[in-house]
């Protein structure tokens, strides 16, 4: 059966989210026994090889950058390094589904930040949805002596730096291929992790741990490949909501791999985040469809 462009885009988005979540689950399992920076450096080195090959195959290998683009890519790389370390440090100590629920607030945070930084207009409906979505995040992390901890804070800070990463990406001109942006980010994260690992130390890997490193790097490359493919087919307004399938994959893998299921309160908060995110995407699509 021939799939429409929108249907193919939805499938690509779900595959990308599954691959990214598989990477998260694999890194969570790996960092239980392997030093964090060693794991990031080894994964990054293998992923970098895959991204370079991908750039070559796509005919988008372009090392030189215009000055302004170089500055934006540099800012993006710094934000990528910090967000990666914060996310994985939180992931080591938090249930996969809980952290995934926090990360689902990213589209809401980016929309709000774009309104502040780029003066993009958002109406009261979308602003209300964003605020309700953030309430959903608070339900997940549960501020207070019994629920909130430093790892939840790291998850929130990771979202903040991903926002910086995404906003700087918007400022990179179309002359820079998307895959090269990913290559530079991979170089930055791998280099930073490699240098940090010299202080933290390395340890020999078992065959199983080596397999996890390989699986994580392959999952990231697959996720990125399908994320690029998503941008080339279908209506983004139709495809974008399928990014929330990441939460379903996180709940499923959290249960299968770690035997952990989110409690009803976490599911309630996650539901609020997803619902308000979907409303924001729908409202944005509707506003763009209005005649000037």
Angle at 150 between CA 201 and CA 25, to 5 degrees: 60
pLDDT tens-digit readout, 173-224 = 888 888 888 899 999 999 999 999 999 999 999 999 999 999 999 999 898 8
Cβ–Cβ under 8 Å, residues 280 and 126: yes
pLDDT at 288: 66
pLDDT at 148: 60
Number of residues assigned to the chain: 292
Domain ranges of the chain: 5-289
Regions of the chain short of the pLDDT cut 50: none
CB-based contacts of 106: which residues, under 8 Å, 6+ apart? 159, 162, 163, 166
pLDDT at 52: 92
pTM of the model: 0.87
pLDDT, averaged across the chain: 88
pLDDT at 146: 54
pLDDT tens-digit readout, 230-257 = 866 767 667 778 889 999 999 999 999 9
pLDDT at 289: 65
pLDDT at 238: 75
Which of 240-268 are b and which e, b meaning 16 or more Cβ less than 10 Å from the residue's Cβ?
Answer: bbbbbbbbbbbbbbbeeeeebebeeebbe
């Amino acid at each position: 059966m021939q799939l429409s462009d929108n249907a193919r885009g939805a499938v690509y988005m779900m595959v990308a989210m599954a691959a990214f979540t598989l990477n998260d689950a694999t890194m969570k399992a790996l960092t239980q026994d392997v030093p964090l920076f060693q794991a990031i450096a080894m994964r990054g080195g293998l992923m970098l090889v895959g991204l370079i090959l991908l750039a070559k195959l796509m005919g988008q290998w372009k090392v030189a950058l215009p000055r302004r683009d170089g500055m934006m890519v540099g800012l993006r790389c710094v934000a990528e390094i910090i967000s990666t370390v914060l996310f994985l440090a939180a992931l080591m100590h938090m249930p996969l589904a809980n952290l995934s629920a926090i990360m689902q607030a990213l589209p809401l945070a980016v929309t709000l930040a774009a309104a502040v930084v780029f003066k993009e207009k958002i109406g009261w409906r979308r602003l209300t949805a964003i605020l309700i979505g953030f309430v959903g995040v608070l339900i997940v992390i549960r501020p207070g002596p019994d629920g909130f901890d430093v790892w939840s804070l790291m998850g929130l800070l990771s979202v903040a730096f991903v926002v910086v990463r995404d906003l700087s990406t918007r400022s990179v001109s179309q002359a820079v291929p998307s895959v090269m942006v990913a290559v530079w980010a991979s170089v930055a994260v791998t280099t930073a992790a490699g240098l940090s690992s010299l202080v933290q130390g390395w340890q020999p890997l078992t065959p199983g741990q080596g397999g996890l490193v390989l699986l994580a790097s392959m999952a990231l490359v697959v996720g990125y490949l399908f994320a690029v493919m998503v941008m080339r087919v279908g209506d983004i307004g139709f495809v974008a909501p399928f990014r929330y399938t990441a939460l379903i994959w996180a709940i499923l893998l959290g249960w299968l791999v770690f035997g952990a299921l989110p409690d009803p309160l976490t599911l309630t908060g996650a539901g609020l985040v997803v619902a308000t995110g979907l409303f924001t995407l729908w409202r944005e699509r509707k506003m763009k469809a209005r005649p000037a």
